[in-house]
A and B are shown apart, each in its own frame.
Chain A
Amino acid sequence: MSKANGSSKVLVRVENLKKHFPITRGILFRRQVGTVRAVDGINMTIHEGETLGLVGESGCGKSTTGRSILQLHRPTSGKVYYEDRDLTEMEGDELRRARRNFQMIFQDPYASLNPRMTVEQIIAEPLEVHSIGNRKERHERVKDLMGLVGLNPSLNNRYPHEFSGGQRQRIGVARALALQPKFIVCDEPISALDVSIQAQVVNLLEELQEKFGLTYLFIAHDLSMVRHIADRTAVMYLGKIVELAERQELYNNPLHPYTQALLSAVPIPDPLKERKRQRIILKGDVPSPAHPPTGCNFNPRCPLAIDICRQEDPEWREITPGHWVACHVV
């Protein structure tokens, strides 16, 4: 794993990214009755060769963020620059060609592989789509890729249902690698897997990163896993990033009250320390992204909320170099 530092090149830059989904009513005449603000103004940069962890509870917009960056959902507004080219401006064939450079590994290995295609067809699809090589070269490349991700290359004619969850996820990884992309969004690639398999897949991802200098956006809800793999970590709450910092900085010195609450929930594998662990219990539930609260999104549940939190959206500030927080109190 390469260490991110200020001098390394910015690969992906996200500026004020928003993705709102309309809520519609009516059969014949549709009218919009509201919006779900799944992603509501996100800024971040991802450096070449680093792993940026993105954590948050379910429904906070992590996956939507990943998909919006890759233009699988077209963002409502905001910019996504990949090597200084704005992806949100691209359309049709231009975008399809650009997709060679960034790929995705999906959450559910049972849903992300077409059950009617063989492993070889699945892994060769990106090559076929971008007309790379002839049939024979593609066949060789698929075998290489299968070996690379730790699958027996002689199983190339099998169908996905013949594999276990971990093996299927390896197939997904091989497909993502086929085009030799620089940037891969890993959308909770291990949360659907058995704990014993999770470590294998994470190690595989780390090995591949080292080998090919890959850049990851690693989406997860497992803080300890993110701590293990990520160089920097961003914490999301209700469509917004509330805190972003270097790994050690975030875990040792969390500033945002939500981050503090999240980290206090992680069990410590040491009974003596575990007994002394102070949990911060948040009251209430996450508000619906269709009706976010005024002011700071976190204010109804925040133990430190003051008047200004209920009125104004907090600014996205750099407190110490590399440590960004959106909070009035900090």
Chain B
Amino acid sequence: MTAQPASRKPGQPVDLIAENKVRSPFDNAWREFRRNRLAIVGAVIVILTVVAAFVAPIITPYDYYTQNTRESRAKPLTGYNISETHAEECTWYGTPLEWGCAIYLTGSDALGRDLYSRMIYGTRVSLAVAFVGSTVALAVGIVLGTISGYFGGRVDNLIMRVVDFLYAIPLLPIIILMQVYFQALGRQGVTEGIAGSLLRLNQSMGGLLFLFIAIGVLNWIGMARLARGQVLAYKHKEFIEAAESVGSSQSRIIFKHLLPNIFGPLLIAETLAIPAYIFTEAILSFIGLGVNPPIPSWGSMINDGYAGIRSNSHLVLVPGIALTMLTLAFNFMGDGLRDAFDPKMRGRA
């Protein structure tokens, strides 16, 4: 409560009508969310990660691709003494250093690249996948699910049977096959046709295009089902009928009455699904089907390091911990959002 009138004595109830305080459902949810400490921690980590992704060049001492093979697999907080011949290699945030220095904050990888810088740049891939993947899944899922649920009948049957069909086939192996196929085409140097232009586009996006497609294909199905279910739950509510009875058009009913009511739960489901997207990307990158090297992705960094996990565990731990933190943060934030927007669900798994 802010700005209470000075005349109010302790214990006297707040006169909401006199103050004309308006509390929208969103305000209430926000108040609830603020009270959930874990959710706030999650949200802060997510926001920090987003900021880090944007300002990566400023907060990293090195770029993510320069190799220094003489200092490969350096331990955390170690560096090397500057000799005259390699003075230019020892810089800190772009300033050449003249003293012997501990320059690898979290060590370096097998090619002598700074692990900390790569970890920070790696947020870009994870977050791009998280946000683009969820936007694609949400958009496709809402459109198809709403059409299916609202219009029903034959359209519904068709869309839902396609969804059932896609649900029944294991999509991850198929996506792996697709990635392998396109990589093979790329190695052959195919440049013509649809495959060629897709390959070029993918190349210019550093291999992200196929990841986006993969994540989108994997996840719109669940969204469509959820959206359809939500539409069905609201379609026969009296306020929808009331809108119809005053003469609202179908598009008005969908956009003004249905979507605002179903969007919250869908967004929450999507937030809770983001860790899965990040993991899918990590899996694909781990088996070498993700972004193109040298772009750092946490999955490919774990892959780079896992062979020497016993002697140089930091190569796996650094990206591994980053991955865990971010997915946990999204989970906490999603749980908090769900509790805030749907108090009935509180305390349930």
Contacts and interface: CB of A to CB of B under 8 A. Distances in A.
A157 B20 CA distance: 9
A112 B239 contact: yes
B244 interface: yes
A209 B256 CA distance: 31
Contact of A159 (B25, B243, B257): B25
Interface in A61-80: 67, 70, 72
A70 to B, nearest CB: 6
Contact of B246 (A28, A113, A126, A155): A126
Interface in B7-51: 17, 20, 22-25
Given A157-B22, A158-B22, A159-B25, A112 B247 contact: no
Nearest to A185: B245
Interface stretch (A97-105, A200-208, A281-289, A291-299): A97-105
Given A106-B238, A108-B238, A155-B17, A179 B244 contact: no
Interface string B286-305: 00000000000000000000
A104 B238 CA distance: 11
Interface in A145-173: 152, 154-155, 157-159, 161-162, 172
B155 to A, nearest CB: 13
B260 interface: yes
B161 interface: yes
A33 interface: no
A18 B186 CA distance: 66
A179 B245 CA distance: 12
A111 B237 contact: yes
A86 to B, nearest CB: 18
Nearest to A121: B256
A224 B25 CA distance: 39
Q: Range of interface residues on chain B? A: 20 to 34
Interface string B223-247: 0000000000000011101111111
B244 A112 contact: no
B261 interface: yes
A129 B157 contact: no
A22 B157 CA distance: 17
B346 interface: no
A126 B25 contact: no
A96 interface: yes
A161 B157 contact: no
Contact of B23 (A111, A159, A178): A159
B248 interface: yes
A72 B260 CA distance: 23
A174 to B, nearest CB: 12
Contact of A72 (B23, B157, B241): B241
Interface in A84-126: 96-97, 99-100, 103-104, 106-108, 111-118, 125-126
A230 B229 CA distance: 41
A125 B237 contact: no
Contacts of B257: 114
Given A111-B237, A114-B243, A179-B246, 14 more contacts: A28-B157, A67-B241, A72-B241, A96-B249, A99-B246, A100-B247, A103-B245, A104-B241, A106-B242, A114-B261, A115-B25, A116-B25, A130-B247, A178-B246
6 contacts: A96-B247, A106-B242, A112-B241, A129-B246, A129-B252, A157-B20
Closest 7 CB pairs of A and B: A126-B246, A112-B238, A99-B247, A96-B247, A111-B238, A116-B260, A114-B239
Interface of B: 17, 20, 22-25, 157, 161, 237-239, 241-249, 252, 256-257, 260-261
